[in-house]
Chains A and B, each alone.
Chain A
Amino acid sequence: MLAPYLLGLTLLVVVPAIAGFGLAFTEYNALNPPRFAGLTNFRELIDDDVFRIAITNSLLYIAFAVPLRLLGALLTALLLLRPKRGVRLYRALVYLPTIIPDMAWALIWLWILNPIYGPLNQTLALAGIDGPSWMTDHTSARLAIVLMMSWQIGEGFVICLASLQDVPRDLLDQVAVDGGSPWRAFWAVTLPSIAPGLLILMFRDTVFSFQANFVPALIVGRGGGPDYATTFLPMYIYTTAFGYLRFGYAAAMTLAMYVVTALVLWLQFRSTVRWQHGLRHAG
């Protein structure tokens, strides 16, 4: 029964990935056949300032987007867990931005983030706040990308909701009977019980976030601007391959991106395993 999956995996993922890794050691412009170049691409990577900026941007993005998206998903799920009037509608509305295609979502935000006419700064102006110029300023441009991605958290929301519904009721009741506050019930019962789901979600969202900022950088950042502020790794790889037709160099960067992703996941895994273990025994 594994056969169809393994066949698809081999043909569509493993073989292209190996070919891509092979490409990393060549010079290839899609016109002439690839020429073996040894480690030249990797040597160039080390001295490439834009590549260094792209890695920093990507890591910075992960550091802000992933916790914000997880927290957003968990808090909305907690809020919309119990039956209340209109809760089904509210849940649907929270999921709604997630089903908008990336490209359409980016175009919506291009309009929202317009510093003069955009509804976001107009709303801020109503509150007496002078909104930032968004995509023309380094910090606010990065913030804007994190912000627009923090709306599409429907997947995490559904997973949190499902985990929360599985929290043993009798344990929660027991804390209440013992005179514990809802706060105490959350830390002693709810959090340890949803921790595995939450961790999977974090790993998944990290991998997703590394790649998902491509369309925002392309459309909202107009190709990674201003001044490389939203040039994340996928954006730079794309420009290198399809803008400058340097497929070998782009493949080397892809390989480096794999390594960075794996490293981040490993760090997350190492630091959370102990935390989860501690949670289970704190109770």
Chain B
Amino acid sequence: MRVEFPPRRRRRFEELTLQVIAASVAVLFLLPLLWAAAASLREIGVPSPRRIDLISSPVAWENYRTVFRVLEFHRYIANSLIVTAVAVPTTVVFASLTGFAIS
């Protein structure tokens, strides 16, 4: 059955639909990261769950401390920061120089 809305209500309805679609798409892009974040809080050595649990029990916050203990994680972060700090300004400067020269 076709329902005819008056124009203003129809506008509202369309806007709402678009809003819902936009939010769902955004969540779709967030989902893999959400799952990764959930996995990062799972206790080490516990068998994998047989269902999706976004909040594991118990929540293993200490994983984040462990990673800094067993790996030189602060060193890795520093390395990434150094490379980025050098590469990004260099790229921007040389790319804009080149772009200006050949445009």
Complex CA gap A258/B98 in Å reads: 25
Q: Is the interface of B mostly helix, strand, loop or mixed?
A: helix
Cβ contacts under 8 Å, B33 to chain A: 96-97, 100, 108
Complex CA gap A100/B33 in Å reads: 9
Kindly name the residue among B29, B30, B98, B101 whose own CB sees the greatest number of chain A CB atoms within 10 A: B29
Residues of chain B touching chain A, judged by Cβ–Cβ distance below 8 Å, are 15, 18-19, 21-23, 25-27, 29-30, 32-33, 35-36, 39, 48-52, 94-95, 97-98, 100-102
Cβ contacts under 8 Å, B100 to chain A: 1
Cβ contacts under 8 Å, B18 to chain A: 79, 84
Tell whether A85 is near chain B: CB-to-CB under 8 Å: yes
Cβ contacts under 8 Å, A100 to chain B: 33
Closest 5 A/B residue pairs (Cβ): A117-B48, A90-B26, A5-B98, A1-B101, A93-B26
Complex CA gap A108/B36 in Å reads: 6
Cβ contacts under 8 Å, B15 to chain A: 84
Cβ contacts under 8 Å, B101 to chain A: 1-2, 5
Apart from A2-B97, A2-B102, A84-B19, list 19 A-B contacts with CB within 8 A.
Answer: A1-B97, A1-B100, A2-B101, A4-B94, A4-B97, A5-B97, A79-B18, A80-B25, A84-B22, A86-B26, A89-B26, A93-B27, A96-B29, A97-B32, A108-B33, A108-B36, A111-B35, A111-B39, A117-B49
Decide: A90 and B50 in contact? CB cutoff 8 A.
no
Q: Give the shortest distance, in Å, between B15 (CB) and chain A (any CB).
A: 7
Q: Give the shortest distance, in Å, between A106 (CB) and chain B (any CB).
A: 11
Decide: B23 and A90 in contact? CB cutoff 8 A.
yes
Residue of B nearest to A7 (CB): B94
| Interface pairs (21), CB distance under 8 Å | A5-B95, A5-B97, A8-B94, A79-B18, A86-B22, A86-B23, A86-B26, A93-B27, A93-B30, A96-B29, A96-B30, A97-B29, A109-B32, A111-B35, A111-B39, A112-B32, A117-B49, A119-B35, A122-B51, A123-B52, A151-B29
Decide: A94 and B39 in contact? CB cutoff 8 A.
no
Cβ contacts under 8 Å, B94 to chain A: 4-5, 8
Tell whether A209 is near chain B: CB-to-CB under 8 Å: no
Complex CA gap A79/B22 in Å reads: 6
Cβ contacts under 8 Å, A76 to chain B: 25
Residue of A nearest to B100 (CB): A1
Bitwise interface map of A from 88 to 114 toward B, beta carbon under 8 Å scored 1, else 0:
011001101100100001001101101
Cβ contacts under 8 Å, A90 to chain B: 22-23, 25-26
Cβ contacts under 8 Å, A151 to chain B: 29, 32
Tell whether A87 is near chain B: CB-to-CB under 8 Å: yes
Residue of A nearest to B98 (CB): A5
Decide: A112 and B35 in contact? CB cutoff 8 A.
yes
Cβ contacts under 8 Å, A117 to chain B: 48-50
Residue of B nearest to A5 (CB): B98
Cβ contacts under 8 Å, B22 to chain A: 79-80, 84, 86-87, 90
Complex CA gap A23/B52 in Å reads: 51
